Chain A
Amino acid sequence: MNLRDLGTRLHASRLDGSPATVLPLVPIVLLLQGCGGEAWQAETYPARGQITINGEPPEGAVIELHSKGQQPDVRNSRPWGLVQPDGSFVLSTYESGDGAPAGEYAVVIRWPPDASQPSFADRLGGAYSTAQKSEWDFTITEGENQLPPIEIVGVNVQSKDDARPPQKAPPGPAVGN
């Protein structure tokens, strides 16, 4: 609503003499001031997938998508998903489970011993931890996306306790203690 419309309505209301048409406009104008919205965010489309490592579902592994072509949005977002006990994952970009913007992505996989703890350890030894090392591509299209299943075989999986951070990580805690 612009000011000219408002003026017209005010004028009209004076003509018919009824303030009842004017007063409801006040809260509407106040509400309009508060409208923001994350204009930079791209449209996302729901996407889910499935992964096994050596035939087992890698519970707690992190799937991250790095765009290969055009940037999905201004910050070049990386949609991600946490692998569930059954090996399935749902991608999120801005909100939990909102999917991913359409486009071409390289799939990056890390398997921290516990993603709820700040740790750089990777049970896969960093084998697929960067876009350069990625061996899979996902294409997100408009609408529902069922991603092709990822099956990794013959890779050395370290136990939770054996997984170590990269050798040259700096001293000190990753975040806190």
Chain B
Amino acid sequence: MLLSIRRRRAAFTLVELLVVIAIIGILVGLLLPAVQSAREAARRMQCSNNLKQVGLALHNYHDTFRSLPPAWADWDGLWATPLHTAHANAAILPFLEGSSVEDRYDYDVRWDHANNAPLANLMPVTYQCPSTPGAGEIEPNSQFQTSDYTYIRSDTGWVTDPTPNHSMFEQNEFRKFRDVLDGLSNTIMQYESAGRTTLYVHGRQTTAPAWWSGEYRAWAGHFDSSWMYPFQVTVDPASGPPSVTYFVGSDVINVANWGSPYSFHPGGVHVSLADGSVRFLTEFVDLDTLSAHTSIDGHEVAGELQ
């Protein structure tokens, strides 16, 4: 009698095993998404710290040279008087502990001159967002790495502004902080435009338009800056470049990444303000509030960026 009870106790039934497995499965199912979002939260923190570091570097550059470096240098004079200098990404390297890289940069030639070719894959990791797939890979047109952060080169009220030159990094402009009449805390300096080794539209890779040359995409490219505007993009099913309707609707963030605000964080992008603080901008930011923060002297009464 005792023996038989012991034998029955020695094993689990199939049902008991299946129930235990099912419960473990449910627990893992509950846990996995939490682990994934914890990882993404950590990547997001590192990304925001990167933007903070670059913001501090820009401040230190300003302290040293009494102005910010230009983030749009029209070397060939395509649209303005030719300006022969390096892009901000290269100019602020000494303030990001990148003096050794900056020493190799030849300021007397274009960024894509053979003299500067060794810098193609020497981009500091501070310019990369850890959430971006393939961060730090080279860009096909110029063979340079691409930065996940870009500079604002026009305010969003461009269409209706009575005068140009209202943004932090206007074209060919060595901006001084004293010009920022809206206050450094109310003006956007940089934002994420991540993953520019390939064109992403609403999270899908697709064919890049012809105008999107290395000059806009390479981390040291002279035109590596853009602005925030509403637009609609439809991916071409026949693998051509996507069709775009410009300046309509209210979608600004996470639409496409040709210099527009785009990130691989769920729901928004990081922006850094001119006071050095970093904010997370949601996809449903009010266009008027966003527009107010893109200008340096619009005198708008704007709500908080969120």
Contacts and interface: CB of A to CB of B under 8 A. Distances in A.
B300 interface: no
Given A115-B248, A176-B211, A176-B212, A171 B171 contact: yes
Contact of B23 (A10, A115, A117, A130): A10
Given A19-B22, A26-B26, A80-B248, A120 B158 contact: yes
A25 interface: yes
Given A170-B170, A177-B211, A25 B159 contact: no
A149 B147 CA distance: 48
Contact of B284 (A25, A75, A82): A75
Contact of B22 (A26, A34, A79): A26
B82 interface: no
B2 interface: no
A130 B159 CA distance: 10
Interface residues of A, number: 51
Interface in A112-144: 112, 115-120, 129-130
A75 B286 contact: yes
B19 A168 contact: no
A166 B159 CA distance: 7
A6 B22 CA distance: 12
A109 to B, nearest CB: 12
B164 A75 contact: no
Nearest to B229: A175
Contacts of A171: 74, 79-80, 164, 171
Contacts of B229: 175
Given A130-B160, A169-B158, A19 B18 contact: yes
B121 interface: no
Contact of B26 (A6, A17, A119, A168): A6
B255 to A, nearest CB: 12
A84 to B, nearest CB: 13
Contacts of A155: none
A158 B73 CA distance: 33
A70 to B, nearest CB: 14
B249 A78 contact: yes
A153 interface: no
A19 B295 CA distance: 63
B258 A176 contact: yes
A26 B32 CA distance: 13
Contact of A33 (B22, B29, B79, B288): B29
Contacts of B286: 74-76
B285 interface: yes
Contact of B79 (A6, A25, A117, A173): A173
Nearest to B212: A176
A13 B19 contact: yes
B170 A33 contact: no
A88 to B, nearest CB: 16
Nearest to A31: B29
B284 A73 contact: yes
Given A29-B29, A33-B30, A116-B246, A170 B158 contact: yes
B80 A29 contact: no
B284 A40 contact: yes
A29 B160 contact: no
Contacts of A44: none
Interface in B157-174: 158-165, 170-171
Interface of B: 15, 18-19, 22-23, 25-26, 29-30, 32-33, 72, 74, 78-80, 153-154, 158-165, 170-171, 209, 211-213, 216, 226, 229-230, 232, 234, 243-250, 258-259, 284-288
22 contacts: A25-B26, A26-B25, A26-B29, A29-B29, A33-B29, A64-B248, A77-B249, A78-B230, A92-B249, A110-B247, A116-B243, A116-B246, A166-B160, A166-B161, A168-B162, A168-B164, A172-B74, A173-B211, A175-B211, A175-B226, A175-B246, A176-B212
